[in-house]
Amino acid sequence: MNMTWAFLSLSGCILSWRNLDMGIWVCFSGIYSKGNNWRRPHPSSTWKLKKPSPKTSSNIHSRFLELSQEINKPTKHFLLRSVSQLYADKSVPFQKEFILSMKKYYNAEPQTVNFQEAAEEVRKEINSWVEHQTEGKIQNLLNEGSIDSLTELILVNALYFRGNWAKPFKKQDTTQQPFRLNKRTSKPVKMMFQHGNFNWNYIKEVKTQILELQYVNNDLSMFILLPDDITDDTTGLEMLENKLTYEALSKWTSPEEMEEIEANVYLPRTQLEDHYELKAALTSMGITDAFTVGQANFTAMSEKRNLILSQVFHKCFVDINEEGTEAAASTGATIDGRSTGGATLFAADHPFLFFIRHNETKSILFWGRFCCP
């Protein structure tokens, strides 16, 4: 799980770990084949990878296919658009087996383009394709100058999500409030409010509240991890992030650990969008061979020698608001309890972590860090 923060600490706020996983395995499927030499990641790597057997590799791809089919079932309750595509220069011929694998497991076909003579046109073409696939929500995935005539192989990855809350926030309760960036600085934000019953947990070891906000039909949930306060000179998230593992998270958010409570919930209304060029992050985590001449081995993908992966591009967009659509806000008083009685105050008026989970498969669609409106 700490791999997530390695990416987010680049400066970003949101990441689709499932989508990135899928994209990396698309790429690795060009490495894992009978006869290929396997080089372990660097000893300091946070990726605990072992050479998979052909059966294991096939099972991994099959599992991604099953997850994608389950998560992307047509539904009126939420909108999810996930795209992942591999682009190679025309000088890079793909192996037939690799093309068949991409079609079978990822419903995608590797694309051959002309980076050498028309890199800018290819960039625009890729951006147009991603924009169309995400219904216009993700634009300009590739910035100007991000690819050039020397580019041979890139992986692009994007995911867009919008869902409606099972218990919508009332628009008239949204007010402008201060959001504390750190101990000394705050910034105004449109803060939503809701009083009701929610699934909740308190983790003493990291002094953090966890609140579940369900989407319509309970297909998906957003879990918000909110530290009690900013206890250091930065965002206040460091202690939580250092303790966070997949096992701990699964335990903290399990039905056995969560309890239903009455709460006054304050949550910023915002749109989160982030763009990553992940080569630096991946190499810092020990995945170096794929980007290094003389070490990369993509012979299962293409018979061309000395082929390397030029870059991995990843972009996410999440809309958090009253109903899942744009809404207006008014100016109001500062945060208080809003109601008397024993209701717990859950005021996300300082940095917090969140994730969106597909409940049936327990697949995490997005990880995020909200530090600045």
- What is the C-alpha to C-alpha distance for residues 86 and 26, in angstroms, rounded to an integer? 8
- What is the C-alpha to C-alpha distance for residues 128 and 86, in angstroms, rounded to an integer? 15
Judged against a pLDDT cut of 50, whether residue 333 lies above it is answered with: no
Mean pLDDT of 341-348: 86
| HSE of 35, CA atoms in CB hemisphere, 13 A | 4
Query: What pLDDT, on a 0 to 100 scale, did the predictor assign at position 307?
Result: 83
Query: What pLDDT, on a 0 to 100 scale, did the predictor assign at position 154?
Result: 84
* Strand 330-331 versus strand 111-113 pairing type: unpaired
Pick 137 or 23 by higher pLDDT: 137
Pick 298 or 267 by higher pLDDT: 267
Q: How far lies 261's CA from each of 32, 104, 203, 336, in Å?
A: 49, 46, 15, 18
Residue whose structure tokens are 């972590």? 353
Pick 327 or 194 by higher pLDDT: 194
Query: What pLDDT, on a 0 to 100 scale, did the predictor assign at position 33?
Result: 43
Pick 175 or 233 by higher pLDDT: 175
| Geometric angle at alpha carbon 150, from 149 and 152, rounded to 5° | 105
- What is the C-alpha to C-alpha distance for residues 155 and 287, in angstroms, rounded to an integer? 15
**Which one of 3.40.1480.10, 1.20.272.10, 2.30.39.10, 3.30.1340.10 gives the CATH number of domain 171-270+322-370?**
2.30.39.10
Query: What pLDDT, on a 0 to 100 scale, did the predictor assign at position 103?
Result: 79
Q: In the chain, where are the structural domains located?
A: 2-161+271-318, 171-270+322-370
Query: What pLDDT, on a 0 to 100 scale, did the predictor assign at position 28?
Result: 55
pLDDT in tens, 106-160: 767 788 999 999 999 999 999 998 888 887 888 888 889 889 998 988 888 777 7
- What is the C-alpha to C-alpha distance for residues 240 and 96, in angstroms, rounded to an integer? 46
Mean pLDDT of 84-104: 85
Pick 316 or 151 by higher pLDDT: 151
Mean pLDDT of 206-221: 92
Residue type (1 letter), 110:
P
Judged against a pLDDT cut of 90, whether residue 35 lies above it is answered with: no
3-state secondary structure of 157: strand
Query: What pLDDT, on a 0 to 100 scale, did the predictor assign at position 5?
Result: 45
3-state secondary structure of 204: helix
Query: What pLDDT, on a 0 to 100 scale, did the predictor assign at position 318?
Result: 75
Range of 15-24, 194-203, 350-359 with top mean pLDDT = 194-203
pLDDT in tens, 162-207: 788 999 999 999 999 999 988 888 899 999 999 999 999 999 999 9
From first CA to last CA, the distance across the chain in angstroms is: 25
* Strand 186-203 versus strand 175-180 pairing type: antiparallel
Least confident of 51-60, 233-242, 305-314: 51-60
Q: What is the mean pLDDT of the chain?
A: 77
Size (the chain), residues: 373
Query: What pLDDT, on a 0 to 100 scale, did the predictor assign at position 132?
Result: 87
- Per-residue confidence at 263, pLDDT binned at 50, 70, 90? very high
Nearest CA-CA partner of 159 in 250, 78, 244, 46: 78
Least confident of 161-165, 216-220, 267-271, 312-316: 312-316
- What is the C-alpha to C-alpha distance for residues 230 and 239, in angstroms, rounded to an integer? 10
- What is the C-alpha to C-alpha distance for residues 310 and 101, in angstroms, rounded to an integer? 22
Mean pLDDT of 215-227: 91
Q: How far lies 142's CA from each of 116, 146, 275, in Å?
A: 17, 6, 9
Token pair of 352, please? 């917090």
- What is the C-alpha to C-alpha distance for residues 218 and 58, in angstroms, rounded to an integer? 31
Judged against a pLDDT cut of 70, whether residue 340 lies above it is answered with: no
Judged against a pLDDT cut of 50, whether residue 237 lies above it is answered with: yes
- Per-residue confidence at 259, pLDDT binned at 50, 70, 90? very high
Quick check: do 2-161+271-318 and 171-270+322-370 share a fold? no
- pTM to 2 decimals? 0.78
Q: Could you please state the CATH topology (level 3) that the domain comprising 2-161+271-318 is classified under.
A: Antithrombin; Chain I, domain 2 (3.30.497)
Nearest CA-CA partner of 197 in 265, 268, 266, 254: 265
Query: What pLDDT, on a 0 to 100 scale, did the predictor assign at position 345?
Result: 93
Pick 28 or 309 by higher pLDDT: 309
Query: What pLDDT, on a 0 to 100 scale, did the predictor assign at position 291?
Result: 81
The residues that bridge with 247 in the sheet, in sequence order, are none
Please count the other Cβ atoms lying within 10 Å of the Cβ belonging to residue 19.
Answer: 21
Judged against a pLDDT cut of 70, whether residue 69 lies above it is answered with: no
User: Do residues 165 and 356 touch, judged by C-beta distance below 8 A?
Assistant: no
- Per-residue confidence at 261, pLDDT binned at 50, 70, 90? very high
Mean pLDDT of 54-66: 59
Judged against a pLDDT cut of 50, whether residue 331 lies above it is answered with: no
Token pair of 261, please? 């409570």
Query: What pLDDT, on a 0 to 100 scale, did the predictor assign at position 86?
Result: 84
